Amino acid sequence: MRQPVIILIPAILVLLTGNLLAAQYLPPDITATAAYTDIPIGQAVHIDYVTPRHHNGKILYTLMSPFPGQIPIGFGYCLPLAHPVTLMGYSLVAANKASFHFSVPMDPGLVGAKILFAAMVCDGTPIGTGASNNVLCTIRQEDWPLP
């Protein structure tokens, strides 16, 4: 009777600790939106970001991953992507806004791929760190036939 209790105690501690750690993550403070999330190959993905005023003059990095998840970036913020993550580009935040543009290659092998984009600002201070929500884009066949 004692052995099952001893085995359950570490499991309960892991569950409680995991819930406490998850509760410490702050919600995204950068809003990411895309006008179109169904992108034909050969066209561009356009993502617009709206940030708090204290991010003005900072660099916003756009990252990409095929998987959703959580990657801690510090000061309670979490990037809503999972490994592997690829840095796609960066832009300067001005007037509480930034944008990202990426041209999808004309590769038919990309058709059907689902890609998540998210952004972060990270300057090593609590006020200068932030993360966006993720934007899911689906790559589809272009509107005209390939040569």
The residue range of the domain holding 80 is: 25-140
Q: How confident is the model over 90-113, as pLDDT tens digits? A: 999 999 999 999 999 998 999 999
- Other Cβ atoms closer than 10 A to 134: 21
Domain assignment present for residue 118? The answer is yes
Number of domains observed in the structure of the chain: 1
Domain assignment present for residue 48? The answer is yes
Q: What is the pTM of this model?
A: 0.79
Q: How confident is the model over 25-43, as pLDDT tens digits? A: 899 999 999 999 999 998 9
CATH code: domain of residue 85: 2.20.130.20
Read off the tokens for 36: 């179109």
Q: How would you label 76-113 residue by residue, b for 16+ Cβ within 10 Å and e otherwise?
A: ebbbbbeeebeebeebebeeeebebebebeeeeebeee
